[in-house]
Amino acid sequence: MESKLKQLRRVMDSTTHKGDHFTEFQKMNIRKAVHTDRRVKPNKPNKFVIFAISTFAYCLLAFFVSTEIFVSHDPEKINGSLNNEWEIRHEYKVNQNIKFSILPDPYLKAGTPYGYIFSFAEPFDTYKGKELSISALHKETGERIQVLPHQEITEPSSGYPSLQRFTTTFTVPYEGLWKYEVYLDGKAYGDVVVSVAEKAKDAPITLPEDIPDFVQESDFDTIDWERKAVEFGDRGIIGNENKSGVIGAGMPSLNGQKWMWHLWGVEDADLTIVGFHKESQTVHQILTNGMGWTIRAYGPNNGADAHTPSSVKIPKKGEWAILLYVDGELFDQLIYDINE
């Protein structure tokens, strides 16, 4: 494993340490500094500048400390998020008083829209004029999605004095434990934990809302799961020879990793990367650090015509198809078994 890490570091650094790093002007200044006997007396620091910087630093430190204390003791923070409890519960309580409860569909499955009834127990004035939103947090992957956008509360549930029957419908992409977090005006109000069954085998594939338009559901029907990615060359590239491959795909990637993408037959292009998990039949964005779905590939390296580095995180174990799109066209599919 250590040898693989060293090889990965060497390859990832290969494109950032080539060429001359000093201009002739810089070289001249260095030679001049080496051969001169004159010592330059450093300027005496300005006392006012030192005082101003010190004052600012103390104020900044005090702000962060006070903010940390405030957040840690904010009673309105979601209870489950603070103690990280994941026991299934359909009620949210404060001092044994129910704030709200939920009635999920008994046949709740991943990948299919289901209706929910949230029963809020506090007087209507607690919610009136505020924006209510709901996020869903998945225990296994840590992925959080907003399932109900901000919705202003203007009137109680029909036939009730408050929000005893607040209904909404949404979809969660995969099975397991989900924590539904309720927010009022962007401030955490409470949460519940539900168990979602495995996605139905015949359920349609759900594409993320922000995925590029050229990615189609029919693209996933073309995946050849028997065409496994293989290692080729002398730099540890794993993929489809003379088409596409990755350095780093053989390393543990569930907690994040650096991958170097290689393309043949492409010199300079937008590379869109889409992950598809076979077992759950779900689509994922695997690029991290705010990269989105698309990065730029250019310049030859390791025998390929174009390459580009990136940070990736594979959200769960299993068999993965990595679909590569070049300038909006499906280019190749990389099949990996990722279990660590």
The answer to whether position 184 is within a domain reads yes
pLDDT digits (tens, 9 = 90+) for 127-142: 999 999 999 999 988 8
**Token pair for 102:** 């939920």
Give me the pLDDT at residue 17, please: 40
The answer to whether position 316 is within a domain reads yes
Give me the pLDDT at residue 296, please: 94
Give me the pLDDT at residue 291, please: 81
Q: How many domains does the chain have?
A: 2
Report residues of the chain scoring pLDDT below 70.
Answer: 1-83, 201-202
Judge if 160 and 227 occupy the same domain.
Answer: no
Judge if 105 and 154 occupy the same domain.
Answer: yes
DSSP state letter for 19: S
Give me the pLDDT at residue 15, please: 52
The answer to whether position 203 is within a domain reads no
Q: Which domain holds residue 245?
A: 217-338
In this structure, how many other beta carbons lie within 10 angstroms of the beta carbon of residue 16? 8
The answer to whether position 72 is within a domain reads no
Judge if 101 and 167 occupy the same domain.
Answer: yes
User: Nearest-CA neighbor of 305 among 252, 245, 239?
Assistant: 245
The answer to whether position 62 is within a domain reads no
**Residue 280 backbone zone (phi > 0: left; psi -120 to 50: alpha; other: beta):** alpha
Give me the pLDDT at residue 7, please: 60
Judge if 147 and 112 occupy the same domain.
Answer: yes
DSSP state letter for 287: B
The SS3 call for residue 170 is: strand
Under a CB-based contact definition with an 8 Å cutoff, are residues 332 and 338 in contact? no
Judge if 295 and 232 occupy the same domain.
Answer: yes
Scored b (16 or more CB within 10 A) or e, 31-41 reads: eeeeeeeeeee
Read off the CATH number of the domain in which 173 is found. 2.60.40.3830
Give me the pLDDT at residue 219, please: 93
Last residue of a domain, one of 165, 196, 227: 196
Give me the pLDDT at residue 20, please: 47
Give me the pLDDT at residue 21, please: 44
Judge if 248 and 285 occupy the same domain.
Answer: yes
Q: Find the helix or strand (DSSP H, E) in which 219 lies.
A: none
Last residue of a domain, one of 196, 230, 247: 196
Longest dimension (CA), the chain: 91
pLDDT digits (tens, 9 = 90+) for 28-62: 444 544 444 444 444 555 555 455 555 555 555 44
